[in-house]
Amino acid sequence: MSEASNKGPGLDEAMQAAAEAAAEALGGKKKAAEPPAEPKSAPGDVEAIAALEAQLDEWKSRAYRQAADLENMRKRHAKEREDTRKFGIEGLLKDLLPVVDNMERALGHAEAEGGNEGLVEGVRMVWKQFLGVVESYGARPFDALGQPFDPNVHEAMTQMPSADHPPNTVMQVFQRGWMLHDRLVRPAMVVVSKAPEGTTSEDDSAGEA
């Protein structure tokens, strides 16, 4: 009996200590499972974040503007290259047109007088060859005879009364006009009809106005 009584209190103390240790362990796990509290932002941090966001928006805006400027520059350079390709021969064409005019006058004079058909045919072939070359670059003469007078492409040398043509009609061409693609290189020099003396017309009235 004395030996059992001596062991009893020791066992109880051990069980109690084990129970306390288990309770402490469980309490530690519960505390560890709780989510950590969110840190509170100081007023200075909020202002710094707002300043960074504003700076980011400013850089984005600059980047968009730079991209738009770069695209506009690219389109402008592409148009300049295309204009150079299309109209690069304009100066040379203007210098050659008087030669063509003289060639056409010589052909007209030779055909009117007759004779020496071989020479006339040779000049005509050279003239046609020249027209073919410049037309391959987009240059072409345009007809004005019988067309209504257009100050955008015609240059009136004088007006002549005519009962055979409506007023403000091209009745004679001194010099043919030329276009390079959609650009006027040289206007046609023309004679424009007007109503005979003693008559009036709406076109003449409009022209005088």
Q: Of residues 161 and 39, which shows the higher confidence score?
A: 161
Main-chain phi, psi angles of 112, to 5 degrees: -70, -40
Does 42 reside within a domain? no
Contact of 190 with 172, CB cutoff 8 Å: yes
Q: How confident is the model at residue 199 (pLDDT cuts 50, 70, 90)?
A: low
| Band of residue 142 on the pLDDT scale cut at 50, 70, 90 | very high
Q: Is 8 part of a structural domain of the chain?
A: no
Quote the number of domains for the chain. 1
Mean pLDDT score across all residues of the chain: 81
Q: Is the pLDDT of residue 208 over 50?
A: no
Model confidence band, residue 27 (pLDDT cutoffs 50, 70, 90):
low
Give a yes or no: residue 167 inside a domain.
Answer: yes
Q: What is the CATH number of the domain that holds 154?
A: 2.30.22.10
Tell me which residue range forms the domain holding 157: 90-200
Q: Evaluate whether residue 77 is within a structural domain.
A: no
